């Protein structure tokens, strides 16, 4: 569907961040709460659900497969689970919009159903690699058609007999791991995945919360098909990936002091904290507690002088969505920051290495892309016009860059911020950003990067 209008952000220089605020719910956990809640026996009550376009796409897809879901109403959702074998064939293709997590996880889950299904997405999602899920699932006996270039639409042929496999994942991807584990619920015997590096483990934790056994030995984790899930209550913490923009913003804007409430600090997600601390950031973790199997805390962030670093490669999967914000921190740091081992950034909602390098160069920063990373020499940030490429995280990264820039920044094509962070502009302004929202015509895009 062609967009009829879009929005731009104009950020005036000179703001700083202060106060206490809570960013919206975790996107990864929100998706999984709908998926597992739908497959459970009994009702699942969710609070803190992210009412962003991506998680709503998942919610609508399960409604289209006959699941009764009430809400969302101020973050509250009630899912009346239909059991592992209770989904019904949807009437048409399931449109997952911009959401890679919905598409890849659902490919696994739908591979085990008795009916055929088709998954489609927007222009960006239709460019993203899907063979990474269809290959592994194919080895389990799933039949999934992609386009010749390995992209969506995905045609999933149901009524296949899936068998458990021991799968060594070629990429460190929580989406691939989760797709295999979800298919594993329907497979004969044990399905095991080995990850090349630790990735977010929300699927494993939530399966256990629903009473489904998951065994884990180091990088190897397994489920056995044929069990059951039992409905539960889920308290979704605030998304550290959304908090990241405020963590970086408060760090780079002199005089800032901000507290981010109830943030999920699962150790598979806290690369942003580790990386920024290595650069010299002042981040204090307060009131840490475990809620529903996930660690949660308040984060206090005060402005600090940063220095450039070589980002440890082991941190890359643990901060994979936070690099647009981290690159802004690097642009404000003294000296050189070097990122390597992050080729995955090229196949996110946009090519995030290129999009960030282009945008930082517009602001006068030396930012040189490499095949799997970037080299950024920090220093002076000017103003200018930035293309977000319709990528929510690129848009928000350049919005917070406005806190450290000497001139106004205008970020174009920001409509998709609503996929992960509805209300970003209002919340950021309430904390001290000087952002105005402008209406604009959508950019004409002929091809992806």
Residue 256 found at the interface with ligand S3P (CB under 6 A): no
Site string for ligand S3P, 300-339 (x = CB under 6 A): --------------------xx------------------
Residue 70 contacts residue 78 (beta carbons within 8 Å) = yes
Residue closer to ligand S3P, measured from CB, 121 or 308: 121
SS3 state at 225: coil
Q: By C-alpha distance, which of 286, 321, 322 is closest to 302?
A: 286
- Taking the C-alpha atoms of residue 14 and residue 12, their distance in angstroms, rounded to an integer, is 7
Map residues 98-137 to x or -, x wherever contact with ligand S3P holds by CB under 6 A.
Answer: ---x------------------------------------
Q: How far is the CB of 27 from ligand S3P (least distance, A)?
A: 7
Contact 189, 225 (CB under 8 A): yes
Q: Which residues of 269-278 are buried (b: 16+ CB within 10 A; e: fewer)?
A: bbbbbbbbee
Closer residue to ligand S3P, CB minimum distance, 106 or 433: 106
CB of 255 to ligand S3P, least distance (A): 32
Strand order in the sheet with 373-377: 336-339, 373-377, 366-370
User: Could you say which of 321, 351, 387, 391 is catalytic?
Assistant: 321
428's enclosing H/E stretch is helix 424-431
Site map 14..43 versus ligand S3P, x via CB under 6 A: --------------x---------------
> Quick one: which of 117, 175, 266, 315 contacts ligand S3P (CB under 6 A)?
175
Containing H/E element for 409?
Answer: strand 409-412
Rounded to a whole number of angstroms, the minimum distance from the CB of residue 128 to ligand S3P is 9
Residue 321 annotated as catalytic:
yes
- Residue carrying structure tokens 């952000």: 9
Q: Which of 200, 262, 352, 412 binds ligand S3P (CB under 6 A)?
A: 200
Record the tokens describing residue 48, joined without a space. Answer: 């803190």
Q: Which is nearer to ligand S3P, 108 or 231 (CB)?
A: 108
**Do 204 and 181 form a contact (C-beta atoms < 8 A)?**
yes
| 158, 161, 166, 168: CA torsion to nearest 10 | -30
Name which position in 102, 134, 178, 303 contacts ligand S3P (CB under 6 A).
178
Interface size with ligand S3P, residues (CB under 6 A): 10
Residues that bind ligand S3P (CB under 6 A): 28, 101, 173-175, 178, 200, 320-321, 344
Catalytic residue set: 321
């Amino acid at each position: 569907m062609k967009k009829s209008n879009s929005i731009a952000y104009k950020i005036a220089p000179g703001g700083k961040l202060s106060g206490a605020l809570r960013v919206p719910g975790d996107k990864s956990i929100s998706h999984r709460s709908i998926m597992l809640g739908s497959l459970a026996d009994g009702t699942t009550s969710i609070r803190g659900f992210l009412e962003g376009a991506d998680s709503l796409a998942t919610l609508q897809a399960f409604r289209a497969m006959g699941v009764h879901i009430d809400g969302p109403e101020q973050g509250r959702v009630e899912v009346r689970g239909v059991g592992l074998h209770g989904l019904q064939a949807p009437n048409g293709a399931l449109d997952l919009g911009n959401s890679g997590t919905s598409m890849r996880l659902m490919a696994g889950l739908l591979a085990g159903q008795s009916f055929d299904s088709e998954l489609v997405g927007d222009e960006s999602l239709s460019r993203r690699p899907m063979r990474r899920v269809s290959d592994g699932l194919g080895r389990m006996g799933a039949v999934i058609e992609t386009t010749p270039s390995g992209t969506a639409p995905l045609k999933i042929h149901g009524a296949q007999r899936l068998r458990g496999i021991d799968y060594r994942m070629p990429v460190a991807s929580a989406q691939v791991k989760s797709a295999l584990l979800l298919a594993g619920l329907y497979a004969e015997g044990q399905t095991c995945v080995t990850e090349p590096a630790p990735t977010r483990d929300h699927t494993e934790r939530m399966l256990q919360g629903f009473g489904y056994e998951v065994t884990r030995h180091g990088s190897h984790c397994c489920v056995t098909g044929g069990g059951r899930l039992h409905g539960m209550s889920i308290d979704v913490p605030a998304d550290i990936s959304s908090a990241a923009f405020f963590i970086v913003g408060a760090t780079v804007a002199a005089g800032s002091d901000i507290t981010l409430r109830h943030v999920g600090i699962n150790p598979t997600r806290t690369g942003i904290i580790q990386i920024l601390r290595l650069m010299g950031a002042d981040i204090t973790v307060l009131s840490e507690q475990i809620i529903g199997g996930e660690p949660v805390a308040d984060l206090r962030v005060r402005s600090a002088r940063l220095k450039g670093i070589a980002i440890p490669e082991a941190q890359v999967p643990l901060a994979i969505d936070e690099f647009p914000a981290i690159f802004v921190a690097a642009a404000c740091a003294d000296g050189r920051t070097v990122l390597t081992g992050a080729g995955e950034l090229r196949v996110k909602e946009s090519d995030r290495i290129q999009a960030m390098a282009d945008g930082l160069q517009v602001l006068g920063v030396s930012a040189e892309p490499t095949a799997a990373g970037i080299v950024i020499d920090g220093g002076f940030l000017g103003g200018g016009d930035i293309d977000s490429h319709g990528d929510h995280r690129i848009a928000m990264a350049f919005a917070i860059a406005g806190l450290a820039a000497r001139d106004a920044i205008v970020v174009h094509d920001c409509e998709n911020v609503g996929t992960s962070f509805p209300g970003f502009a209002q919340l950021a302004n309430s904390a001290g950003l000087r952002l105005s929202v402008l209406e604009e015509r959508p950019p004409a895009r002929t091809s992806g990067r």
